[in-house]
A and B are shown apart, each in its own frame.
Chain A
Amino acid sequence: MSFNNLDQLYRSVIMDHYKKPRNKGSLDENSVTIDMNNPTCGDRIHLTLKINDGLVEDAKFEGEGCSISMSSASMMTEVIIGKKVDDALQLADIFSKMMLGEDYSDKYDLGDVEALQGVSKFPARIKCATLAWKAMERGVQAESK
């Protein structure tokens, strides 16, 4: 048995985010709170966003789940902090296309998020990766209404 197939999915940058998550915690004052879970597997995320004047000023998350769902949450917060709300939503759209294996715009520097590309080849794990992004989308949309 070799690890080759697994390496497609579990890139070291993913495991780094899993073992040392960025932006872990919870924002308290004036933040948008979103709780989401994946009822089929029990993964859950508690995301807090600080949004002012159409800008995502800060983001933190807490949760429980597999390496894919938690690293994706960590990477997501990293990439959206400092972004405009519209850009954050476009990034969510790009991420969803990436998961479906579709072409996506190269308008943004995705940073570590690119490492999650391999998830698209593991259909059973796509929901793990998209949980945090769905939570972010919901939070941003609620705030900008």
Chain B
Amino acid sequence: MNDIRKYFPVLNQEVNGHPLVYLDSAATSQKPTQVLEVLKKYYEFDNSNVHRGVHTLGNRATDSYEGAREKIRKFINANSTEEIIYTRGTTTSINTVAAAYGRANVNEGDEIVITKMEHHSNFIPWQQLAKQQKAVLKFIELEEDGTISLETVRQTITPKTKIVAVTMASNVLGTINPVKEITEIAHENGAITVIDAAQGAPHMPIDVQDIDCDFLAFSGHKMCGPTGIGVLYGKKAHLENMEPIEFGGEMIDFVDLYDSTWKELPWKFEGGTPNIAGAIGLGAAIDFLNEIGLENIAKHEHELVEYAIAEMEKVGGISIYGPLDPSKRCGLITFNLDGVHPHDLATVLDMNGIAIRAGHHCAQPLMKWLQCTATARASFYMYNSKEDVDAFVAGLRMAKEYFNDVF
């Protein structure tokens, strides 16, 4: 995996006089040359609007745009490209389900079930939907180590439950959730599942037919693609029955003065000129991920996390959140260092060229569960190395010494 680094030009720089160690890929990943070149080529040679006009550039842009949709379909093993909707990102994808499916199918007294570990993007849309529809919002409580027990899932989901929304991998705890089993329990109770795969798609193979989930959402920018492009997968049977939530160009069939009809799937959910370059860039990112192999990426991250946890424990005074068993978690570590606020820690590391995240990670209810207001997070991707972990751990030791001994 070590020569993968050469594909990521951004990593080849110094920050505050030190070589950049980028440990914030859970927030956004870096982009390989392969993606950057496709974006450049699109704007330099093919830039044109899609699904309009008959000219050559328009055809090329449309072919690339729809070609990327097929790559995405294959990437998550969806049945058909009709089930792949381009969005702005995970947040828009989930909001689309909440608005288009939720408002039509959730009524007063119905239940929406989510977990305590959800990112705000898979939390607030359901909280607001529950308020609007006078539905009951219920939470799957977490085990002490930050995992989900299927027993608790069975106790929480009832025949009144209409929607179960759960993350594939937690952006804070790192926990990988049993989304297939949760979906099975939801279906037994007549509920549908919405899977937040923002932290899943970049790091592990996904098969939506095997999971049997009803909806699944992810973002391009966390998986080597550009920002502003994401995906909503939905089972065709659901999507066909859903009304669009954005109206305008691109998504219409016939427009009359007092009524209109919509294009077929997936375009009825893609009003307005889409993020064409973003979609093509995401397609290139998927080609890149396939070339490296998601299994290889997962294995590499797994090794880094195992090594990092062992090294961090040697520093002393570090609390790590989420399951300590590396086989239960993805490639990120959320933690606190005694006596050093995460912001202060992030500044010390930044002075050494190391980028980590500090704060509540868009998961305030989870922070309450963890009983802390802020935490620090180091997240790894295919381009990180053991040397990165060593630099990071040296930074932790320095911060510990600086704040606890100097003052």
**Distance, CA A10 to CA B407, complexed state (A):** 10
Interface string of A1-22 (1 = CB under 8 A from B): 1010110011010011001000
A19 to B350 alpha-carbon distance, docked (Å)? 23
A41 touches B407 (CB 8 A): no
Q: Which of the segments A26-34, A65-73, A94-102, A135-143 contacts the partner chain?
A: A65-73
CB proximity of A83 to chain B, nearest CB, Å: 29
Residues of A within 8 A of B394 (CB): 1
Q: Which residues of A contact B348 (CB under 8 A)?
A: 6
Q: Are B359 and A40 in contact (CB under 8 A)?
A: yes
Please tell me if the beta carbons of A15 and B407 are within 8 angstroms of each other in the complex: yes
Asked if B373 is an interface residue, CB under 8 A from chain A, the answer is yes
Shortest Cβ distance from residue A61 to the other chain B in the assembled complex, whole angstroms: 15
Interface string of B50-71 (1 = CB under 8 A from A): 0000000000000000000000
Of the listed residues A1, A68, A124, the one surrounded by the most CB atoms of chain B closer than 10 A to its CB is A1
The CA of A118 and the CA of B359, in the complex, are separated in Å by 22
* Nearest opposing residue in chain B for A41, CB measure: B359
B17 (CB) vs chain A CBs: closest residue: A5
Residue of A nearest to B397 (CB): A1
Q: Hey, which chain A residues are within 8 Å of B373, CB to CB?
A: 42-44, 64-65
Which residues on the A side are within 8 Å of B403 (C-beta)?
A: 15, 67
Q: Which residue of A lies closest to B406 (CB)?
A: A3
User: Is the C-beta of B95 less than 8 angstroms from some C-beta in chain A?
Assistant: no
| Chain A contacts for B398, CB-based, 8 A | 1
Is A122 in contact with chain B by the CB < 8 A criterion? yes
> In chain A, residues 39-74, which have Cβ atoms closer than 8 Å to a Cβ of chain B?
40-44, 64-69
Judged by a CB distance under 8 angstroms, whether B273 is at the interface is no
A123 CB to nearest chain B CB (Å)? 11
Within 8 A of A (CB), among B336-382: 341-344, 347-348, 350-352, 358-360, 364, 367, 373-374
**CB-based contact A42/B360 at 8 Å:** yes
Contacts of B307 in A (CB 8 A): none
> Given B344, B351, B374, which contacts A5 in the complex, CB threshold below 8 Å?
B351
Q: Complex: how many Å from CA A57 to CA B108?
A: 52
| Residues of chain B with a CB closer than 8 A to A122's CB | 347
Q: CB-CB < 8 A to A84: which residues of B? A: none
Does chain B have a CB within 8 A of A125?
yes
Q: Which of B350, B351, B374, B402 contacts A42 (CB 8 A)?
A: B374
CA distance A43 to B367 in the complex (A): 13
The smallest C-beta distance from B76 to any residue of chain A, in angstroms, reads 32
Q: Given A3-B402, A12-B407, are A66 and B341 also a contact pair (CB < 8 Å)?
A: yes
A128 located at the interface, meaning its Cβ lies under 8 Å from any Cβ of chain B in the complex: yes
With contacts A1-B352, A66-B342, A125-B343 known, is A19 near B407, CB below 8 A?
yes
* CB of B13 closer than 8 Å to a CB of A: no
The total of chain A residues at the interface (CB under 8 A) is 25
- In the complex the two chains form, is A41's CB within 8 Å of B358's CB? yes
CB distance from B311 to the nearest CB of A (A): 17
B347:A124 contact, CB within 8 angstroms: yes
The chain A residue with its CB closest to the CB of B345 is A66
| B347 and A42 contacting across the interface, CB-CB below 8 Å | no
User: How many residues of chain B are within 8 Å of chain A by beta carbon?
Assistant: 23
- Residues of B near A12 (CB, < 8 A) are 407
Check if B407 sits within 8 Å of A68, measured CB to CB: no
A10 to B402, CA, bound (A): 10
- By a CB distance below 8 angstroms, the chain B residues around A16 are 407
The answer to whether B351 and A6 touch across the interface, beta carbons within 8 angstroms, is yes
Report the separation of the CA atoms of residues A124 and B358 in the bound assembly, to the nearest whole angstrom: 11
Separation of A117 and B289 alpha carbons in the complex (Å): 46
How close is B213's CB to chain A, nearest CB, in angstroms? 31
B319 at the interface (CB under 8 A from A): no
> Are A66 and B406 touching (Cβ within 8 A)?
no
User: Shortest CB–CB separation between residue B63 and chain A, in angstroms?
Assistant: 41
Are B359's CB and A68's CB within 8 A?
Answer: no
Contacts of B407 in A (CB 8 A): 10, 12, 15-16, 19
A5 to B350, CA, bound (A): 11
Q: Closest CB of chain B to A129's CB: distance in Å?
A: 11
- CB of B348, distance to nearest CB on chain A (Å): 6
Q: Does B209 contact A (CB under 8 A)?
A: no
- Contact across chains for A66 and B16 when beta carbons are under 8 A apart: no
Instruction: Give Cα A68 to B181, complex, Å.
Output: 46
CB distance B406 to A41 under 8 Å? Answer: no
In the complex the two chains form, what is the Cα distance from A94 to B406 in whole Å?
A: 30
**Residue of A whose beta carbon sits closest to that of B341:** A66
B residues at A contact (CB < 8 Å): 16, 341-344, 347-348, 350-352, 358-360, 364, 367, 373-374, 394, 398, 402-403, 406-407
8 contacts between A and B (CB under 8 A): A5-B16, A6-B351, A42-B360, A42-B367, A43-B343, A65-B343, A67-B341, A68-B343
Q: A6-B347, A43-B343, A66-B342 known; 15 other A-B pairs, CB under 8 Å? A: A1-B352, A3-B406, A5-B16, A6-B348, A6-B402, A9-B347, A42-B374, A43-B374, A65-B341, A66-B341, A66-B343, A66-B344, A69-B343, A124-B347, A128-B343
